[in-house]
Amino acid sequence: MEKIRLAAARCIKGRLQPPCRACEDVCPAGAFRWGVPHPDLCIECGLCTAVCPAAAVETRLDYAAKLTAVVAADASSVRLACAKSAPDSMLPCLGFLTRGILWAIASQKEVQLDIGSCRACLPAVHAHLAREAAAVDVVLAAAGRAPLRLLDAEPAAREYSRRDFFRRFRDVAKEKFGQGDAAGGAGESAAAGAHDVGPADRMACGAVAGERAGAASAEADRELPPDAAGMGQDSMHPALTAFSAPAWAFAHGAQPAAVHADLALYSGCNACGFCVRLCPHGALAAEIEGEDFVLAFTPQLCTACGLCTARCPKSALRLAASPTAKRWRIPLPRCESCGAPFRPIGASKVCRACMEK
């Protein structure tokens, strides 16, 4: 089964100038080349899911479920560690963590972030997590809360005695050569004895083997789920899923803070709502109240991808600082033909009813 896949419908690479190359720039294994994923090179560190502004990278690891299970534990503190640092951890690698996720957890519980093993294992993941933790610490300090407990000590190298070395050498030699020789000898004996078996005996053995294989296949089909029995092997693998870090953080109580992006609305907005349709995470929402167009902004869901600011037909949106939830009320423009308020399509000045006359 492939490890990663790029959802072309969500990827915003072709809608920005210059094109977005966040996944390609951050991948330490070179699994993305010219925007095309190469699953055979993927090491499943999760960095691409952390930096993708549109959650377009799909992986076979369900980061949302694993992280929720770790955080849901009834404790005053949470330790975030990879399986290499803590063998009982459900998180294979911490590269998928973002400052938004860390802020959502740290605003409710004490967080221990263990990145000691990352320095030697994946320096790119170590640098990413150290940078995200530093940004969160600034916000925590401003809020009067304790900083993250960053466990950045390299694990001590295990020392092997001379006896341990040769014992391990003996075990590996047995695995590599001992079983192979035994299997080879058994195979030669079986091959030698096969010459003494007559045609009738071979037919009987074949019939018995066929019956056993059929019984084993039927038993396996009974044990499979109803939708997997009788289907190909690929249908038994779990589907690839995309992980939206902003959506997870927002669902777990993240409040607007300096770790999030901000948006400012300038004069010129004509209430077309194009920005709402473009936003990959739903940070912008719109509704009609009377004769007004109300545009709402949720900074926790914004990834600062710049798609709304780059594609706004009136250039009325700009990324800003000091993120806060906002609701802008824009009077709907009036049709130049009939005078009724309407939501324009792009820069149109005539309502749809008048256009269809």
Q: Are 97 and 133 within 8 A, CB to CB?
A: no
The first and second tokens of residue 2, run together, are 């492939």
Residue 177: predicted pLDDT: 72
Chain mean position to CA 158: 33
Instruction: Say if CB 93 and CB 123 are below 8 A apart.
Output: no
As a 3-state breakdown, the chain gives helix, strand, coil percent values, each rounded to 5, of 40, 15, 45
- Among 304, 303, 13, 278, smallest CA distance to 295 is for 278
C-alpha angle 276/278/283, rounded to 5°? 55
**What is the distance of C-alpha 133 from the center of its chain?**
19
| Rounded Cα gap, residues 319 and 83, in angstroms | 38
Q: What is the pLDDT of residue 225?
A: 38
The rounded Cα 346 to chain-centroid distance in angstroms is 33
φ, ψ at 199 (rounded to 5°): -60, -40
Write down the pLDDT at residue 52: 94
The predicted pLDDT at position 170 comes to 81
In the chain, ranges of CATH 3.30.70.20 domains: 260-356
Report angle CA 76, 322, 251 to the nearest 5 degrees: 40
The runs of H, that is alpha helices, within 72-198 are 99-106, 118-121, 123-142, 162-173, 179-194
The CATH classification number of 260-356 equals 3.30.70.20
Q: pLDDT value at position 218? A: 42
Residue-by-residue pLDDT tens, the chain, 357 positions? 678 888 888 898 888 888 889 999 999 999 998 778 898 999 999 999 999 999 999 998 899 999 999 988 777 889 999 988 888 888 999 999 999 999 999 988 899 999 988 888 899 999 999 999 999 999 999 888 889 998 887 655 556 677 777 777 787 777 667 654 444 444 444 444 434 444 444 444 444 444 444 443 344 344 333 333 333 333 344 588 899 999 999 999 888 888 888 899 988 888 888 999 999 999 999 999 988 999 999 999 999 999 999 999 888 999 887 778 888 998 988 888 888 888 887 778 888 888 887
Distance (Å, whole) CA 352 – CA 123 = 56
* Two tokens, residue 164: 């341990």
- The amino acid at residue 299 is P
Neighbouring residues of 124: CB distance < 8 A, sequence distance ≥ 6: 26, 28, 45, 47, 95
